Structure formats: structure tokens, C-alpha cells
């Protein structure tokens, strides 16, 4: 991947990290580690005994991982510290007569906010008291580093479908019907939104800090506006208005999110774009996601999502 492509993929990966809590983040962590290390062994909970405070380990070096992925990491440090202490105690109790523990790592989904001095101190104390080779926190940025050390095709298999402007050529009405049905059933608008004045398309893209890759998606999808308007004409104005209100609310929710300290060329505009896309078409096929992008472009064009430069 070139630098632009890498930034594009990082944006999508960052949104996966930001939305992954609990088991979802553990699954993401294990899928990446299994691709990166041939001897990584993921541990699934088994009934009442659970996972023995071990979500996965590298057998060859005795390196153990325990995942903690709260919804609000900034407000969960005290619990992270308690969990680190309790999990290591449980891990050692189970393994002390079976195999050595050389390293212990708390896999903390900090959502790009970083670690804290208190958590670092706790792990250094565990390392010292139990004479470990290492004990440390494993943050989202560390998982990202492991991911981007893999071959491009493996990265794509983990990150998933990367929207490609070349695939948005003709509107798929069946996919459009499916995505509209999903949006209307799953997302309820909080209130009707006032009409807005439409600015220049390219001016708005630049004003909102959207990348070249996202611009290409919007540009290509904009060619489908005639077909989309024809669909709305045949299916009534109510659906069009409902979708407009829903997407406007989804934009407000995404815009209000705290995306942490994500840098290296990733703009907040791109993070917001893919956050909305992910909420509209989670784990969907190419055609469904393309339909979602076309809908987003419609309401981007009319200023119902993203900011109006005129304001």
C-alpha cells in the first residue's frame, strides 16, 4: 500500500477500534495476533471456569494477554488497575505448576487516549514482585502496529471491505431497498431537521477536511443522484424525509464522538464519514455498502450531513 492507501485503511481500522467493546475487541485482537504470530493461542471461556484470566498467549516465550475493553476507557482506569491485579493473581494461581509466566500484558482498548501513570505503575509493580521479564499495557496503537506489520492482503482480510469508487457504477435497487429498510427499522430520528442551503460540492469536501479517497467516493456516488431521485419519486417523499432526519442525527452523534489522539494524516472528517457508514451498513456486502455511500452522498450534497462552509 502507498501512503494514501495506508491512511485510508487506518481510518477504517481506527473506527473498528473505537466501536469495539468487550468481546468484539477481544475478537479483533485475537484475529490480528493469530495472523502475526504462528504460535499465538487464543483462549475461549469454558463454562464456570472462564478463561483462567488468559485471553491468549504466545507459548514459545511465555507471554500472556488479558483483554479489557470498556465503553468509556477514560473513566475506567481504576477498574483496569483492579482487573490487572486480579487477573494476574488468577493467572499465576492456575499456571504456577504448569508452565512459566515470563510476561503479562493488559490489552487495554484505550480508544487512542493512551495509558495512565497509575496503570503503568501497577504493571511495573507486578513485574517487580513476580520477577517477570516484562509486564506492560498493550494499547490500541500497539495493536495497530502489529496489524500494519502484516502483508497487505492479510490486513485487508482483517479490516474488511474497503470502499472503492470503481465499484459504484450503477445503483443496485435491491441493495438500495435493503439498506433503506435496515436504516428505517434500526435508526429512529430524534427530531425533524430544518432545510439547509446547498454549497459547492468540492468546497464542502475541503471545508470538512475529507481526504482524497473519501472525495473520490463522494464524487463517484454523486453520479447516481438522478437514479436515486427517481427511486424516491416512485416510493414517496416520506421515506426521503425520514432518511434525511436519521442521517442528520447520525452525523450529530458521530461529530460529538471523542476520537482520541489519532494522527498520521487521519482527519476527523474521515473518521466521522466512516463512523456513519459503519452504523448504516455494519458487516454488509459491497453492494449494500455502496448503496449506503450513495445515500450519504445525497444528504451530503444537500448539507444534511457535514458542515456548510457558508456557516
* Domain-ending residue, one of 122, 143, 159: 159
At 272, is the pLDDT very low, low, confident or very high (cuts 50, 70, 90)?
very high
If we measure between CA atoms, which residue out of 160, 187, 198 comes closest to residue 303? 198
Which pLDDT score, from 0 to 100, does residue 74 have? 85
Which pLDDT score, from 0 to 100, does residue 122 have? 93
Distance spanning both ends of the chain, measured CA to CA: 37
Indicate whether 188 and 277 sit together in one domain: yes
Indicate whether 113 and 216 sit together in one domain: no
Q: HSE of 208 in the Cβ direction (CA atoms, 13 Å)? A: 27
* Domain-ending residue, one of 118, 140, 159: 159
With respect to residue 209, please indicate whether it lies within any of the assigned structural domains: yes
**Cell numbers standing for residue 269:** 472528517
Q: pLDDT per residue over 1-36, tens digit each?
A: 777 788 888 998 999 999 889 889 999 999 999 999
Indicate whether 240 and 140 sit together in one domain: no
Q: pLDDT per residue over 55-92, tens digit each?
A: 888 988 989 999 999 889 888 888 989 888 888 888 88
Per-position b or e across 231-245, b if 16+ CB within 10 A of its CB = bbeeeeeeebebbbb
* Domain-ending residue, one of 113, 131, 159: 159
Indicate whether 180 and 234 sit together in one domain: yes
With respect to residue 196, please indicate whether it lies within any of the assigned structural domains: yes
Is residue 268 scored above 80 in pLDDT? yes
Cβ pair 26, 67 in contact under 8 A: yes
CB contact set of 279 (below 8 Å; sequence gap of 6+): 187, 250, 254
Indicate whether 172 and 280 sit together in one domain: yes
Q: What residues make up the domain containing 138? A: 3-159
Higher pLDDT, 133 or 178: 133
Indicate whether 128 and 177 sit together in one domain: no
Q: pLDDT per residue over 233-259, tens digit each?
A: 888 778 888 888 889 999 999 999 888
Residue 44 belongs to domain with CATH number: 3.40.91
Which pLDDT score, from 0 to 100, does residue 7 have? 85
Indicate whether 219 and 254 sit together in one domain: yes
**Rounded distance, CA 182 to CA 178, Å?**
6
Q: pLDDT per residue over 151-176, tens digit each?
A: 999 998 898 878 888 888 777 778 88
Q: For the chain, what is the mean pLDDT?
A: 84
Instruction: Work out the average pLDDT over 98-102.
Output: 83
pTM of the model: 0.82
Q: How far is CA 261 from CA 41, 67, 84, in A?
A: 31, 21, 24
Instruction: Work out the average pLDDT over 120-124.
Output: 93
Indicate whether 184 and 222 sit together in one domain: yes
Indicate whether 126 and 175 sit together in one domain: no
Number of structural domains, the chain? Answer: 2
Indicate whether 210 and 278 sit together in one domain: yes
Which pLDDT score, from 0 to 100, does residue 258 have? 85
Indicate whether 125 and 198 sit together in one domain: no
CB contact set of 142 (below 8 Å; sequence gap of 6+): none
Indicate whether 63 and 29 sit together in one domain: yes
With respect to residue 308, please indicate whether it lies within any of the assigned structural domains: no
Amino acid at each position: 500500500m502507498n501512503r494514501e492507501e495506508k491512511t485510508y485503511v487506518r481510518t477504517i481500522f481506527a473506527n473498528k477500534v473505537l466501536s469495539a467493546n468487550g468481546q468484539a475487541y477481544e475478537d479483533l485482537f485475537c484475529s490480528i495476533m493469530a495472523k502475526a504470530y504462528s504460535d499465538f493461542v487464543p483462549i475461549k471461556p469454558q463454562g464456570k471456569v472462564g478463561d483462567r484470566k488468559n485471553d491468549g498467549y504466545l507459548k514459545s516465550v511465555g507471554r500472556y494477554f488479558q483483554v479489557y475493553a470498556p465503553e468509556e476507557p477514560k473513566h475506567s482506569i481504576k477498574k483496569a488497575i483492579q482487573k490487572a491485579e486480579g487477573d494476574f493473581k488468577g493467572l499465576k494461581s492456575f499456571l504456577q505448576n504448569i508452565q512459566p509466566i515470563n510476561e503479562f500484558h493488559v490489552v487495554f482498548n484505550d480508544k487512542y487516549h493512551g495509558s495512565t501513570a497509575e496503570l503503568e505503575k501497577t504493571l511495573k509493580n507486578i513485574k517487580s514482585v513476580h520477577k517477570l521479564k516484562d509486564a506492560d499495557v498493550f494499547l490500541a496503537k500497539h495493536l495497530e502496529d502489529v496489524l500494519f506489520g502484516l502483508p497487505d492482503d492479510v490486513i485487508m482480510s482483517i479490516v474488511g471491505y474497503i470502499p472503492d469508487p470503481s465499484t459504484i457504477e450503477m445503483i443496485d435497487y435491491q441493495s438500495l431497498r435493503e439498506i433503506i429498510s435496515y436504516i428505517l427499522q434500526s435508526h429512529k430520528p430524534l427530531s425533524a431537521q430544518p432545510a439547509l442551503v446547498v454549497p459547492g460540492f468540492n468546497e464542502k469536501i475541503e471545508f470538512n477536511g475529507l481526504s482524497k479517497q473519501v472525495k473520490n467516493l463522494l464524487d463517484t456516488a454523486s453520479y447516481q443522484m438522478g437514479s436515486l431521485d427517481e427511486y424516491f419519486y416512485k416510493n414517496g417523499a416520506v421515506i426521503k424525509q425520514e432518511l434525511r432526519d436519521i442521517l442528520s442525527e447520525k452525523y450529530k452523534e458521530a461529530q460529538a464522538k471523542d476520537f482520541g489522539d489519532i494522527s498520521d494524516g487521519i482527519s476527523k472528517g474521515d473518521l466521522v464519514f466512516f463512523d456513519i457508514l459503519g452504523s448504516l451498513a455494519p458487516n454488509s456486502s459491497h453492494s449494500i455498502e455502496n448503496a449506503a455511500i450513495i445515500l450519504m452522498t445525497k444528504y451530503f450534497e444537500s448539507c444534511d450531513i457535514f458542515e456548510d462552509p457558508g456557516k
